[in-house]
Structure 1
Protein backbone atom coordinates (compact mmCIF):
# COMPACT_ATOMS: atom_id res chain seq x y z
CA UNK A 1 0.00 0.00 0.00
CA UNK A 2 2.88 2.37 0.75
CA UNK A 3 4.11 1.83 -2.80
CA UNK A 4 0.73 2.90 -4.15
CA UNK A 5 0.64 5.95 -1.90
CA UNK A 6 4.06 6.95 -3.21
CA UNK A 7 2.79 6.84 -6.80
CA UNK A 8 -0.13 9.28 -7.25
CA UNK A 9 -0.74 8.22 -10.85
CA UNK A 10 -1.14 4.58 -9.82
CA UNK A 11 -3.38 5.60 -6.93
CA UNK A 12 -5.63 7.44 -9.39
CA UNK A 13 -5.81 4.34 -11.59
CA UNK A 14 -6.92 2.24 -8.64
CA UNK A 15 -9.37 4.79 -7.24
CA UNK A 16 -12.48 3.24 -8.75
CA UNK A 17 -11.40 -0.40 -8.50
CA UNK A 18 -13.81 -2.39 -6.38
CA UNK A 19 -17.36 -3.65 -6.33
CA UNK A 20 -19.82 -1.26 -7.96
CA UNK A 21 -23.41 -1.75 -8.99
CA UNK A 22 -25.78 0.04 -11.28
CA UNK A 23 -28.21 2.33 -9.51
CA UNK A 24 -31.77 1.05 -9.63
CA UNK A 25 -34.36 3.20 -11.44
CA UNK A 26 -35.63 4.49 -8.10
CA UNK A 27 -32.13 5.31 -6.87
CA UNK A 28 -31.22 7.07 -10.10
CA UNK A 29 -34.36 9.21 -9.96
CA UNK A 30 -33.55 10.18 -6.36
CA UNK A 31 -29.99 11.06 -7.31
CA UNK A 32 -31.14 13.22 -10.22
CA UNK A 33 -33.57 15.00 -7.89
CA UNK A 34 -30.82 15.61 -5.34
CA UNK A 35 -28.43 17.07 -7.92
CA UNK A 36 -30.82 18.99 -10.18
CA UNK A 37 -33.72 19.79 -7.86
CA UNK A 38 -36.27 17.51 -9.52
CA UNK A 39 -36.33 13.92 -10.79
CA UNK A 40 -36.24 12.98 -14.45
CA UNK A 41 -39.65 11.41 -13.99
CA UNK A 42 -39.45 8.88 -16.82
CA UNK A 43 -37.98 5.87 -15.03
CA UNK A 44 -41.34 4.32 -14.43
CA UNK A 45 -43.42 1.60 -16.05
CA UNK A 46 -41.80 0.25 -19.23
CA UNK A 47 -38.65 2.39 -19.05
CA UNK A 48 -38.04 1.26 -15.48
CA UNK A 49 -38.26 -2.39 -16.56
CA UNK A 50 -35.83 -1.74 -19.41
CA UNK A 51 -33.48 -0.20 -16.87
CA UNK A 52 -33.50 -3.24 -14.61
CA UNK A 53 -36.51 -2.39 -12.49
CA UNK A 54 -39.16 -4.77 -11.21
CA UNK A 55 -42.94 -4.70 -11.22
CA UNK A 56 -43.46 -7.44 -8.61
CA UNK A 57 -45.65 -9.28 -11.14
CA UNK A 58 -44.03 -10.39 -14.37
CA UNK A 59 -40.57 -9.09 -13.41
CA UNK A 60 -39.51 -9.90 -9.87
CA UNK A 61 -35.70 -9.87 -10.11
CA UNK A 62 -33.59 -6.85 -10.98
CA UNK A 63 -31.36 -7.10 -14.02
CA UNK A 64 -28.06 -5.45 -13.13
CA UNK A 65 -26.13 -6.60 -16.21
CA UNK A 66 -25.57 -3.71 -18.65
CA UNK A 67 -27.52 -4.00 -21.90
CA UNK A 68 -28.14 -2.02 -25.05
CA UNK A 69 -31.54 -1.00 -23.74
CA UNK A 70 -30.00 0.34 -20.55
CA UNK A 71 -27.48 2.31 -22.58
CA UNK A 72 -30.30 3.81 -24.64
CA UNK A 73 -32.16 4.85 -21.48
CA UNK A 74 -28.97 6.43 -20.11
CA UNK A 75 -28.54 8.43 -23.32
CA UNK A 76 -32.15 9.61 -23.18
CA UNK A 77 -31.79 10.59 -19.55
CA UNK A 78 -28.54 12.50 -20.06
CA UNK A 79 -29.87 14.40 -23.08
CA UNK A 80 -33.20 15.25 -21.44
CA UNK A 81 -31.68 16.40 -18.15
CA UNK A 82 -29.06 18.56 -19.86
CA UNK A 83 -31.67 20.11 -22.13
CA UNK A 84 -34.01 20.91 -19.28
CA UNK A 85 -31.55 22.33 -16.79
CA UNK A 86 -28.57 24.07 -18.42
CA UNK A 87 -30.17 27.17 -19.95
CA UNK A 88 -32.72 27.33 -17.12
CA UNK A 89 -29.90 27.37 -14.56
CA UNK A 90 -28.13 30.22 -16.33
CA UNK A 91 -31.35 32.25 -16.33
CA UNK A 92 -31.25 32.33 -12.52
CA UNK A 93 -29.17 34.69 -10.42
CA UNK A 94 -25.76 33.14 -9.78
CA UNK A 95 -26.48 32.63 -6.07
CA UNK A 96 -29.54 30.52 -6.91
CA UNK A 97 -27.92 28.25 -9.48
CA UNK A 98 -27.35 24.57 -8.78
CA UNK A 99 -25.00 23.95 -11.70
CA UNK A 100 -23.24 27.17 -12.70
CA UNK A 101 -22.89 29.51 -9.71
CA UNK A 102 -19.30 30.40 -10.63
CA UNK A 103 -19.47 31.22 -14.33
CA UNK A 104 -21.49 33.18 -16.90
CA UNK A 105 -22.35 32.08 -20.44
CA UNK A 106 -20.15 34.77 -22.01
CA UNK A 107 -16.98 33.15 -20.63
CA UNK A 108 -15.15 31.29 -23.40
CA UNK A 109 -11.68 29.76 -23.86
CA UNK A 110 -8.92 31.81 -25.41
CA UNK A 111 -7.60 33.75 -22.44
CA UNK A 112 -5.95 32.60 -19.23
CA UNK A 113 -8.77 34.10 -17.17
CA UNK A 114 -11.39 32.43 -19.34
CA UNK A 115 -9.75 29.02 -19.13
CA UNK A 116 -9.33 29.30 -15.36
CA UNK A 117 -13.00 30.20 -14.93
CA UNK A 118 -14.13 27.30 -17.13
CA UNK A 119 -11.87 24.87 -15.31
CA UNK A 120 -13.22 26.07 -11.96
CA UNK A 121 -16.76 25.51 -13.21
CA UNK A 122 -15.79 22.01 -14.36
CA UNK A 123 -14.26 21.24 -10.95
CA UNK A 124 -17.56 22.27 -9.36
CA UNK A 125 -19.57 20.07 -11.73
CA UNK A 126 -17.27 17.09 -11.18
CA UNK A 127 -17.86 17.33 -7.45
CA UNK A 128 -21.61 17.96 -7.66
CA UNK A 129 -22.41 15.27 -10.23
CA UNK A 130 -19.65 12.71 -9.75
CA UNK A 131 -18.39 13.24 -6.22
CA UNK A 132 -14.86 13.81 -7.50
CA UNK A 133 -12.67 16.36 -5.75
CA UNK A 134 -10.46 17.17 -8.72
CA UNK A 135 -7.81 19.84 -9.03
CA UNK A 136 -8.26 22.31 -11.88
CA UNK A 137 -5.25 20.82 -13.69
CA UNK A 138 -6.13 17.16 -13.07
CA UNK A 139 -6.40 14.71 -15.99
CA UNK A 140 -10.17 14.38 -15.55
CA UNK A 141 -10.67 18.14 -15.67
CA UNK A 142 -8.30 18.32 -18.64
CA UNK A 143 -10.48 15.83 -20.49
CA UNK A 144 -13.70 17.71 -19.79
CA UNK A 145 -12.07 21.02 -20.70
CA UNK A 146 -10.89 19.58 -24.03
CA UNK A 147 -14.47 18.53 -24.73
CA UNK A 148 -15.70 22.05 -23.93
CA UNK A 149 -13.03 23.76 -26.01
CA UNK A 150 -13.49 21.38 -28.95
CA UNK A 151 -17.23 21.99 -29.16
CA UNK A 152 -16.76 25.76 -28.99
CA UNK A 153 -14.18 25.67 -31.79
CA UNK A 154 -16.34 23.44 -33.97
CA UNK A 155 -19.37 25.69 -33.45
CA UNK A 156 -17.38 28.78 -34.43
CA UNK A 157 -16.25 27.10 -37.64
CA UNK A 158 -19.72 25.88 -38.62
CA UNK A 159 -21.39 28.17 -41.13
CA UNK A 160 -24.97 29.21 -40.47
CA UNK A 161 -25.21 27.80 -36.96
CA UNK A 162 -28.01 29.62 -35.15
CA UNK A 163 -26.83 31.58 -32.13
CA UNK A 164 -29.80 30.57 -30.03
CA UNK A 165 -30.54 27.59 -27.84
CA UNK A 166 -31.69 24.48 -29.69
CA UNK A 167 -35.43 24.46 -30.38
CA UNK A 168 -35.51 20.88 -29.12
CA UNK A 169 -34.32 22.07 -25.72
CA UNK A 170 -35.93 25.48 -25.62
CA UNK A 171 -39.43 24.61 -26.76
CA UNK A 172 -41.50 27.62 -27.77
CA UNK A 173 -39.62 30.65 -29.08
CA UNK A 174 -40.27 32.72 -25.95
CA UNK A 175 -38.36 30.16 -23.89
CA UNK A 176 -35.35 29.93 -26.19
CA UNK A 177 -32.22 31.62 -24.87
CA UNK A 178 -29.75 33.58 -26.96
CA UNK A 179 -26.47 31.71 -27.30
CA UNK A 180 -24.09 34.08 -29.12
CA UNK A 181 -20.95 32.37 -27.81
CA UNK A 182 -22.26 28.79 -28.27
CA UNK A 183 -21.68 28.16 -24.57
CA UNK A 184 -25.19 26.99 -23.67
CA UNK A 185 -25.00 24.07 -26.09
CA UNK A 186 -21.42 23.42 -24.99
CA UNK A 187 -22.25 23.25 -21.28
CA UNK A 188 -25.21 21.09 -22.23
CA UNK A 189 -22.79 18.67 -23.91
CA UNK A 190 -20.59 18.70 -20.81
CA UNK A 191 -23.54 17.85 -18.54
CA UNK A 192 -24.61 15.09 -20.94
CA UNK A 193 -21.08 13.68 -20.88
CA UNK A 194 -20.87 13.73 -17.08
CA UNK A 195 -24.26 12.08 -16.67
CA UNK A 196 -23.00 9.15 -18.73
CA UNK A 197 -20.03 8.54 -16.43
CA UNK A 198 -19.81 5.48 -14.20
CA UNK A 199 -19.45 7.68 -11.13
CA UNK A 200 -22.96 9.04 -11.72
CA UNK A 201 -24.70 5.85 -12.82
CA UNK A 202 -23.12 3.39 -10.40
CA UNK A 203 -22.37 3.20 -6.70
Structure 2
Protein backbone atom coordinates (compact mmCIF):
# COMPACT_ATOMS: atom_id res chain seq x y z
CA UNK A 1 0.00 0.00 0.00
CA UNK A 2 1.34 3.42 -1.00
CA UNK A 3 1.64 6.45 1.27
CA UNK A 4 0.10 8.79 -1.33
CA UNK A 5 -2.60 8.29 -3.96
CA UNK A 6 -3.94 10.63 -6.58
CA UNK A 7 -7.57 11.23 -7.42
CA UNK A 8 -8.61 12.68 -10.76
CA UNK A 9 -11.14 15.50 -10.87
CA UNK A 10 -14.62 13.96 -10.74
CA UNK A 11 -13.22 10.48 -10.19
CA UNK A 12 -12.43 8.06 -7.41
CA UNK A 13 -9.57 5.89 -6.23
CA UNK A 14 -9.67 2.56 -4.45
CA UNK A 15 -7.10 2.02 -1.71
CA UNK A 16 -6.32 -1.58 -0.88
CA UNK A 17 -4.48 -2.54 2.30
CA UNK A 18 -1.95 -5.36 2.38
CA UNK A 19 -3.44 -8.84 2.62
CA UNK A 20 -2.99 -11.25 5.52
CA UNK A 21 -4.68 -9.41 8.40
CA UNK A 22 -7.78 -10.58 10.24
CA UNK A 23 -9.60 -7.24 10.44
CA UNK A 24 -9.47 -3.87 8.70
CA UNK A 25 -10.97 -0.68 10.08
CA UNK A 26 -10.87 2.43 7.85
CA UNK A 27 -11.36 6.02 8.92
CA UNK A 28 -14.61 6.18 6.91
CA UNK A 29 -15.95 3.17 8.91
CA UNK A 30 -15.35 0.69 6.06
CA UNK A 31 -14.41 -2.75 7.34
CA UNK A 32 -13.07 -4.54 4.26
CA UNK A 33 -9.57 -4.75 2.84
CA UNK A 34 -10.30 -1.84 0.44
CA UNK A 35 -11.83 1.60 0.66
CA UNK A 36 -13.02 3.81 -2.22
CA UNK A 37 -12.28 7.54 -1.93
CA UNK A 38 -13.93 10.33 -3.92
CA UNK A 39 -12.35 13.35 -2.21
CA UNK A 40 -8.75 14.33 -1.50
CA UNK A 41 -7.70 14.27 2.13
CA UNK A 42 -6.01 12.22 4.82
CA UNK A 43 -7.30 8.74 5.59
CA UNK A 44 -6.20 5.89 7.83
CA UNK A 45 -6.64 2.15 8.23
CA UNK A 46 -6.14 0.07 11.37
CA UNK A 47 -5.28 -3.58 10.75
CA UNK A 48 -5.37 -6.35 13.34
CA UNK A 49 -3.80 -9.80 13.43
CA UNK A 50 -4.50 -12.53 16.02
CA UNK A 51 -1.80 -14.90 17.28
CA UNK A 52 -3.36 -17.36 19.79
CA UNK A 53 -3.50 -15.16 22.89
CA UNK A 54 -1.70 -12.16 21.38
CA UNK A 55 -3.45 -9.34 19.51
CA UNK A 56 -1.30 -7.22 17.18
CA UNK A 57 -2.53 -4.08 15.50
CA UNK A 58 -1.11 -1.08 13.66
CA UNK A 59 -2.44 2.03 11.95
CA UNK A 60 -1.30 3.51 8.65
CA UNK A 61 -2.11 7.01 7.39
CA UNK A 62 -2.68 7.61 3.66
CA UNK A 63 -2.78 10.93 1.82
CA UNK A 64 -5.03 11.36 -1.23
CA UNK A 65 -4.17 14.35 -3.42
CA UNK A 66 -6.23 15.95 -6.17
CA UNK A 67 -4.87 15.64 -9.69
CA UNK A 68 -5.98 16.63 -13.18
CA UNK A 69 -5.30 16.11 -16.88
CA UNK A 70 -2.43 18.26 -18.20
CA UNK A 71 -2.90 20.94 -20.83
CA UNK A 72 0.13 22.11 -22.80
CA UNK A 73 -0.09 25.91 -22.82
CA UNK A 74 3.10 26.61 -24.77
CA UNK A 75 6.41 25.11 -25.79
CA UNK A 76 9.38 27.45 -25.62
CA UNK A 77 12.11 26.69 -28.14
CA UNK A 78 15.79 27.56 -28.24
CA UNK A 79 16.89 26.43 -31.68
CA UNK A 80 18.93 27.44 -34.76
CA UNK A 81 21.77 25.03 -33.99
CA UNK A 82 22.49 21.59 -35.42
CA UNK A 83 22.53 19.56 -32.20
CA UNK A 84 22.31 21.87 -29.16
CA UNK A 85 18.66 22.92 -29.27
CA UNK A 86 16.29 22.97 -26.30
CA UNK A 87 12.58 22.63 -25.55
CA UNK A 88 10.79 23.84 -22.42
CA UNK A 89 7.20 22.65 -21.99
CA UNK A 90 4.75 24.89 -20.15
CA UNK A 91 1.69 23.13 -18.72
CA UNK A 92 -1.56 24.14 -17.06
CA UNK A 93 -3.48 21.93 -14.66
CA UNK A 94 -3.43 20.86 -11.05
CA UNK A 95 -1.56 17.60 -11.27
CA UNK A 96 1.97 16.25 -11.05
CA UNK A 97 3.27 15.72 -14.56
CA UNK A 98 5.93 13.86 -16.52
CA UNK A 99 7.29 14.70 -19.97
CA UNK A 100 8.35 12.68 -22.99
CA UNK A 101 9.42 13.05 -26.62
CA UNK A 102 8.33 9.57 -27.68
CA UNK A 103 5.32 8.74 -25.48
CA UNK A 104 7.24 5.89 -23.82
CA UNK A 105 10.19 7.20 -21.84
CA UNK A 106 9.11 9.97 -19.44
CA UNK A 107 11.04 12.35 -17.18
CA UNK A 108 10.07 14.69 -14.35
CA UNK A 109 11.81 17.72 -15.89
CA UNK A 110 9.85 19.83 -18.38
CA UNK A 111 13.05 20.69 -20.27
CA UNK A 112 14.81 18.75 -23.03
CA UNK A 113 18.32 19.81 -24.07
CA UNK A 114 20.95 18.73 -26.58
CA UNK A 115 18.39 18.12 -29.32
CA UNK A 116 19.08 18.10 -33.07
CA UNK A 117 16.86 20.30 -35.20
CA UNK A 118 13.74 18.62 -36.54
CA UNK A 119 10.14 17.74 -35.75
CA UNK A 120 9.14 16.52 -32.28
CA UNK A 121 5.96 15.30 -30.63
CA UNK A 122 5.90 16.38 -26.98
CA UNK A 123 3.85 14.30 -24.53
CA UNK A 124 2.79 15.28 -21.01
CA UNK A 125 1.04 12.84 -18.68
CA UNK A 126 -0.35 12.98 -15.17
CA UNK A 127 1.49 10.53 -12.91
CA UNK A 128 -1.81 9.28 -11.48
CA UNK A 129 -3.26 8.43 -14.88
CA UNK A 130 -5.64 11.40 -15.18
CA UNK A 131 -4.76 12.02 -18.81
CA UNK A 132 -2.20 12.84 -21.49
CA UNK A 133 -1.73 15.86 -23.75
CA UNK A 134 0.55 16.11 -26.77
CA UNK A 135 1.64 18.71 -29.28
CA UNK A 136 3.90 19.01 -32.33
CA UNK A 137 6.87 21.37 -32.22
CA UNK A 138 9.65 22.19 -34.69
CA UNK A 139 13.25 23.09 -33.91
CA UNK A 140 14.29 25.21 -36.86
CA UNK A 141 17.55 25.37 -38.77
CA UNK A 142 18.79 26.99 -41.97
CA UNK A 143 21.50 26.15 -44.53
CA UNK A 144 24.74 28.07 -44.00
CA UNK A 145 25.14 28.34 -47.76
CA UNK A 146 23.54 27.37 -51.07
CA UNK A 147 24.83 26.94 -54.61
CA UNK A 148 22.22 27.90 -57.25
CA UNK A 149 24.08 26.41 -60.22
CA UNK A 150 21.33 24.22 -61.65
CA UNK A 151 22.69 20.86 -60.51
CA UNK A 152 19.57 20.20 -58.36
CA UNK A 153 21.70 20.10 -55.20
CA UNK A 154 21.53 23.03 -52.77
CA UNK A 155 20.03 25.15 -55.57
CA UNK A 156 17.69 27.07 -53.25
CA UNK A 157 17.78 28.52 -49.75
CA UNK A 158 15.00 28.31 -47.17
CA UNK A 159 14.16 27.57 -43.53
CA UNK A 160 13.72 23.89 -42.80
CA UNK A 161 10.17 23.13 -41.56
CA UNK A 162 9.09 26.64 -42.56
CA UNK A 163 5.78 25.38 -43.97
CA UNK A 164 4.97 23.45 -40.79
CA UNK A 165 4.87 26.53 -38.56
CA UNK A 166 1.98 28.89 -39.36
CA UNK A 167 2.33 32.65 -39.67
CA UNK A 168 6.12 32.65 -39.71
CA UNK A 169 7.68 35.55 -41.62
CA UNK A 170 11.09 35.12 -43.28
CA UNK A 171 12.73 38.07 -45.07
CA UNK A 172 16.08 38.12 -46.90
CA UNK A 173 18.38 41.15 -47.32
CA UNK A 174 21.72 41.84 -48.96
CA UNK A 175 24.76 43.05 -47.02
CA UNK A 176 23.69 46.68 -47.45
CA UNK A 177 20.27 45.95 -45.97
CA UNK A 178 18.35 46.05 -49.25
CA UNK A 179 15.26 43.87 -49.16
CA UNK A 180 15.60 40.90 -51.53
CA UNK A 181 12.72 38.52 -50.89
CA UNK A 182 10.04 37.42 -48.42
CA UNK A 183 9.33 33.72 -48.27
CA UNK A 184 5.68 32.67 -48.47
CA UNK A 185 3.68 29.47 -48.24
CA UNK A 186 3.51 29.32 -52.04
CA UNK A 187 7.11 30.42 -52.56
CA UNK A 188 9.07 29.10 -49.54
CA UNK A 189 12.61 29.25 -50.98
CA UNK A 190 14.97 31.72 -52.64
CA UNK A 191 16.62 30.78 -55.94
CA UNK A 192 19.41 33.34 -55.79
CA UNK A 193 17.92 35.91 -58.16
CA UNK A 194 16.58 39.44 -57.77
CA UNK A 195 14.23 40.96 -60.35
CA UNK A 196 15.13 38.16 -62.75
CA UNK A 197 18.88 38.73 -62.45
CA UNK A 198 21.49 36.51 -60.79
CA UNK A 199 22.43 37.84 -57.37
CA UNK A 200 26.16 38.08 -56.63
CA UNK A 201 27.99 35.39 -54.70
CA UNK A 202 28.36 36.88 -51.23
CA UNK A 203 26.78 36.83 -47.76
CA UNK A 204 23.08 37.57 -47.23
CA UNK A 205 21.13 38.24 -44.06
CA UNK A 206 17.70 37.08 -43.00
CA UNK A 207 15.16 37.75 -40.27
CA UNK A 208 12.59 35.30 -38.92
CA UNK A 209 9.54 36.36 -36.94
CA UNK A 210 7.58 33.47 -35.47
CA UNK A 211 3.94 33.24 -34.46
CA UNK A 212 4.88 33.46 -30.76
CA UNK A 213 6.64 36.79 -31.38
CA UNK A 214 10.19 35.46 -31.12
CA UNK A 215 12.64 36.81 -33.68
CA UNK A 216 15.89 35.47 -35.04
CA UNK A 217 18.54 37.03 -37.29
CA UNK A 218 21.29 35.24 -39.16
CA UNK A 219 23.30 35.14 -42.34
CA UNK A 220 24.23 32.66 -45.03
CA UNK A 221 26.36 32.56 -48.18
CA UNK A 222 25.44 32.33 -51.83
CA UNK A 223 28.17 30.44 -53.69
CA UNK A 224 28.51 30.05 -57.43
**TM-score calculated relative to the size of structure 1:** 0.24
Larger radius of gyration: 2
Judging by fraction of residues, say which structure has more helix: 1
**TM-score calculated relative to the size of structure 2:** 0.22
Judging by fraction of residues, say which structure has more strand: 2
